[in-house]
Structures are given as structure tokens and as C-alpha cells.
Structure 1
């Protein structure tokens, strides 16, 4: 499962966010609040859904699953002209990303993340960068379906 290394152009997103940790996972609550209102966002670029994590600087240096971070449910937009009430904006800055393809149900995503952080990173020329991490869920994403696909984008920088 080798990633594709891509340079991301800046993305503008609109959505909902929630503070959580890996121990106190509020992902279901986040998406349950976002999905009924996503059609209120009129200037979307595509139908993709974005699940993002914004970590504090050096979050992974001494990893603790109790440390909090901000998780987002969002869509990409062309501009911030019309922001629906109750929604927030997030700019994902441009930069280098390792893009992995997770195949299978979302319940097995932890296996893909384990590979990324326990196997791929230690053997790569890269380290985690302090920019948002995100998953892109397009038309191939089917949540619990064994044929589901989603892209996992991890921000990277050279080790040196």
C-alpha cells in the first residue's frame, strides 16, 4: 500500500467542527449534525465529503490518545461569499501530502492508519507536517461496504 505523493493546492472548506480526542470520539455526533445541513452550502466545487483533523503542533511527537484535536465534517467551496448560519470555514494550506487509498469498511480504517504511522513513516524519507489531515469520501465511499474506498491525505515534509 504505497502512497502517491501529491502537492495539494490550497482548499477552501465549509462545515462543522467539534473538539474531541481518540479516546472520546465524537465523529458520529459531528456528521449527524452536518449531513442534514450540507445542502445549504451552495457554492460547492464537487460532491466529495471531507473528514479533517486539525492537530496541535507536534501532536504526534509524544502521542497520547487523550490529547484533544479539532475534527471537521466539510465540503470544498469556490469561495466564502455565502456561509450558511452555524457553519464555519477552514482553509487547508497548500503543501506536500502522502495519499493512501483505504479499501474496505470504515470500521477497518484503523488498519490503514496503523500501516501509515507504524510501518510507512518510519521507513520513509518523510515526517508528519503540522497541517490538517483529511479523508476524501467520493462516490466510491460506501461506509460499511467491503468495496468502499476513501483517500487518506497525510501532510508530510522531508525529514532533514
Structure 2
């Protein structure tokens, strides 16, 4: 059953899990261009400034009046050679803290706009703490992706956290993990 959601993507099936594991199988969706407003920083896992980025963005989020949904987006923009070289704790990437907006009008001057191009995505459901996310990412990139028949596309990767997100250290925190594929 197809169900139209507010984000302009179609849900093709319910989330299912790989037999005898906690690893989810993704939902494959086509999504229209997404316009985000937020803050960005260049960082690495070894010099992770995610907490500071969100602490700075939090108060500014309230000043965005044309939000298209109540959730937040954590976006990673990787170099073109992301999958062809080893990803180490020192690998630099651009990290965004953002919200979706209807358009670029009335965006506070302290914020920037990021347009995520339309395309196909593997959308995973992740439940757990940030400290366990590395194991999940390893499964996605080293197990699921190579055996999926899809290839990684060079578009931003992101996580969507609904307005009722419990926070990165809560064991019941849930988010959607969007991986760009072709």
C-alpha cells in the first residue's frame, strides 16, 4: 500500500529486519528536492563538534517561521571519493544542523540554505544511542550496500529526527537515516 507523506516521498513498504539480527532493511524511496535552513561546520569524527553545532542552532531554530515540518535534519556532505578511500576518524566532512523550509524566503541572516537534490534513497530506521550508531553505519556501508545492488550516490547523507526525538543518548531515540543511492 502506498501512502503519501508530508515530505513528498512515497513509502514503498514497512521497515523489516534481517533475520536473526537487529539490522533493519531500508525502505527505498524517491524524494523531491529538499530545502533546508541551518548552520554548517567542517569537522571529523576525531574532532567532532556536533554538540556545539546543535547548541548554537537550537536557539536560532525558533526564529525560522516557514518550517515545512516539525523535525530536524543532521546532514553530512562527504567528498566525491567518500567510498573509494578509507574513512578514518580524521576524514573531514561538512556537517549541518537544519530544518526543512517551504522556501528560502524569510530565513534569518545567521542561517544558510542547503538544497538536497531529488533522487533515490535507502531510508533506514535507527533506534538507539549515538554511541551505538557506528555499528549501525558499519552494517549499512560494509554489509547492506555492497550486497544491495545499489551504489552510493554523491548527494548529502542525512538523519531526520521527528519533533518528539528523545536525544542522542536515549536508548529509545528513533531517527530515519537517509542514504543516497543509484
- TM-score, L = length of structure 2: 0.82
Q: How many residues align?
A: 157
Instruction: Describe the superposition over 1:118-149 as per-residue Cα deviations: whole angstroms up to 9, x where unpaired.
Output: 21012110111100000000045212222211
1:13 Cα offset (Å): 0.4
Give the CA RMSD over aligned residues. 1.1
Instruction: Say yes or no: does 1:149 pair with 2:174.
Output: yes
State the partner residue of 2:18: none
Secondary structure of 1:127's aligned partner = coil
Query: Quick one: distance in 2 between partners of 1:149 and 1:122?
Result: 25
Task: Indicate which of 53, 60, 72 corresponds to 2:96.
Answer: 72
Query: Quick one: distance in 1 between partners of 2:141 and 2:164?
Result: 24
1:94 Cα offset (Å): 0.2
Which has the bigger relative contact order, CA under 8 A and spacing at least 6?
1
Instruction: Say yes or no: does 1:131 pair with 2:152.
Output: no
Query: Quick one: distance in 1 between partners of 2:170 and 2:93?
Result: 28
5+ residue gaps, structure 1, are: none
Secondary structure of 1:24's aligned partner = coil
Query: Quick one: distance in 1 between partners of 2:172 and 2:108?
Result: 34
Normalized per residue, which structure has more strand?
Answer: 1
Instruction: Describe the superposition over 1:70-91 as per-residue Cα deviations: whole angstroms up to 9, x where unpaired.
Output: 1000000001111202100000
Instruction: Say yes or no: does 1:63 pair with 2:86.
Output: yes
Q: Is the 8 A contact 1:140 1:150 kept in 2?
A: no
- TM-score, L = length of structure 1: 0.93
Task: Indicate which of 33, 46, 68 corresponds to 1:45.
Answer: 68
Query: Quick one: distance in 1 between partners of 2:146 and 2:49?
Result: 29
Instruction: Say yes or no: does 1:102 pair with 2:152.
Output: no
State the partner residue of 1:22: 45
Instruction: Describe the superposition over 1:41-83 as per-residue Cα deviations: whole angstroms up to 9, x where unpaired.
Output: 1100111000000112122211232221110000000011112
State the partner residue of 1:5: 28
